């Protein structure tokens, strides 16, 4: 297993980190687990932003996974380069989550664009 493939696993679990933040900062109670979607709709502030970061993380993970796997399958890119891109992507996602929680909207959008550029980079280095 390469570092890039391990990063796919990390990316898969990052949304659940956001879920934990949303639940702990939103006053989640066990009884809320019977209908967690309506609980998420009722939260505000950090909990609501954590939930939004969770949704975005679910949306971007398949693109990252596909890009990293394609780079491995094509095999023309240096493995070190692919691993570095993957670590940079995970770093960008962590920064994205931090920016979302802190309500730094402009910086969050810039970090999002960096992450999308990193996903595209997997394809460009594989040419």
Q: What percent of the chain has pLDDT over 70?
A: 96
> What pTM did the predictor assign?
0.93
| Structural domain spans, the chain | 3-125
Alpha helices for the chain (secondary structure H): 3-25, 36-42, 45-74, 79-102, 105-125
- Please give the CATH topology (third level) of the domain spanning 3-125: 1.20.120
Distance CA 98, CA 94 (A): 6
- Alpha-carbon distances, residue 3 vs 8, 16, 69, 72 (angstroms): 9, 21, 12, 11
Distance CA 58, CA 29 (A): 24
pLDDT 10s digits, 9-45:
999 999 999 988 988 887 766 556 777 777 777 789 9
Q: What percent of the chain has pLDDT over 90?
A: 75
Q: At residue 71, does pLDDT exceed 70?
A: yes
């Amino acid at each position: 297993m390469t570092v890039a493939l391990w990063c796919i696993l990390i990316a898969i679990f990052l949304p659940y980190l956001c879920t934990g933040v949303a639940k702990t900062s939103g006053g989640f109670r066990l009884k809320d687990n019977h209908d967690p979607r309506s609980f998420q709709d009722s939260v505000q502030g950090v909990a609501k932003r954590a939930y939004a970061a969770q949704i975005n993380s679910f949306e971007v993970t398949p693109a990252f996974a596909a890009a990293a796997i394609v780079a491995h399958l094509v095999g023309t890119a240096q493995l070190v380069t692919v691993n570095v891109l993957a670590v940079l992507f995970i770093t960008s996602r962590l920064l994205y989550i931090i920016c979302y929680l802190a309500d730094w909207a402009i910086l969050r959008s810039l970090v999002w664009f960096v992450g999308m550029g990193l996903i595209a980079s997997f394809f460009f280095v594989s040419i």
